[in-house]
Structure 1
Amino acid sequence: MVYIQKLLVSYTGLPHQSRPDLCFDVLDLSTSVQLSEAKTQSKLNKVIRKAKNNSYRIKYPNLESLKNIELILYTDASYANLSDRVSSAGGYVIFLRGQNGKNCPISWSSKKIRRVVKSTLAAEALSLVDGLDACYFVRSILQEMIKLNAGESIPINCFTDNKSLCQNIHSTKLISEKRLCLDLASIKESVSLGDITVTWIKTSSQISDCLTKAGADFHPLIKVLSTGKGP
């Protein structure tokens, strides 16, 4: 088991550096503490085969100009789908989009949502909050680099395939889950101030789907990363 743990550690950094298609597989393995050694070894072997059998290049396209750039955030979550059967997976991918329409990858993440949630809505909301936190950090650095005029800000456009989340964000009604109200309130405030937009998209267009689910098609995300063209 010690050998398996060491091998898993060696693969932990790879997904976040250059292989987002392995993100969920490694995340799921890291929560497989209740599985037998044989089952853990079997899952690890599948990850290794996947890493060896698939290869691609990530393209950082020329945006030509830093005028009218925007941050694009795709977020997704899956409710109680990790190996411990109570934790949920959340994931996001961030692009910097130029006025020429090209998408430059900035960051992606797949991790266990920070607390046990009661619903898919809560999982999706917390995943969006985490993605927005990352976007705010990236935006602060970019705005210092390009020295925007006073009052100007790089827009953040968020995309989710959870219609209930999108409806709740754009609604004045309060939900019954009080703890979740606080998380949604922070998103609603940013939307009302015009700081961000949150748009619903079809699941077929959700390129971060593979960051939160086993067996999800990772090719749409890889296509954007390797071509710089949006979904």
Structure 2
Amino acid sequence: MTDNAFRRDVHGNGEIDLIEVLQGLWMQRWLIVLVVVLTAACAAGYAFLSKPVYESRTCFLPPSLSSIAGFNLGRRGGELEPFTVSGVYAVFTRNLQAEESTRRFFKTVYLPSLSEEDRQGSRDRLYAQFRKAFSIKAPDKIQPDRYLLVVQSHDPVLTVEWAKRYIDDVSEQSRDEVLENARREIEVIGTGLQQQIKSLRLAAKARREDRINQLKESLKVA
């Protein structure tokens, strides 16, 4: 059997002749090169024309005991329980993830930073856009106390500024909340002490009146 006969027999079985495939690719070489060049040009044009996205990441861990020492001034050795690291950190992380905190930041910081054109549209759409660029990742099993704040923007300075302003806002809110809790505890204890003093005064007054009545009865008998 000749080579041509063998080749025709292979074609008859529906198999592909590698030499013919290579010849076909060679004939289409300029078309393949053109497609590759156009694809590379489109990718380069997109990378050149599209705005780069910058990202800032801020990690949070529980504070040290010395960092919260100011909250415990005058609380040790009395009826007030000292604030713990876990308790103070729980207040901060709750405010860090609170919808109220992100909504307030969206209204007071994010919206004013947009142009008049970018502010067009519904608030829900703008808030969804904001949440894509502003996210808080909860801790995982490896680091159960570690929270992560991720801020994205086309402006690298803005990413850092937004992260700093949000952290300052949450820190101030958490500090005020801890101080408010302390104030309420003092008020509760103060109210209890006032009630106790009032009860002691009433009891002393009643004993004094009883003693006076006893003396008066003694005088009558005498």
TM-score normalised by the shorter chain: which range applies?
Answer: under 0.3
State TM-score, norm by structure 1. 0.20
Relative to total residues, which structure has the larger strand share, 1 or 2? 1
State TM-score, norm by structure 2. 0.21
Relative to total residues, which structure has the larger helix share, 1 or 2? 2
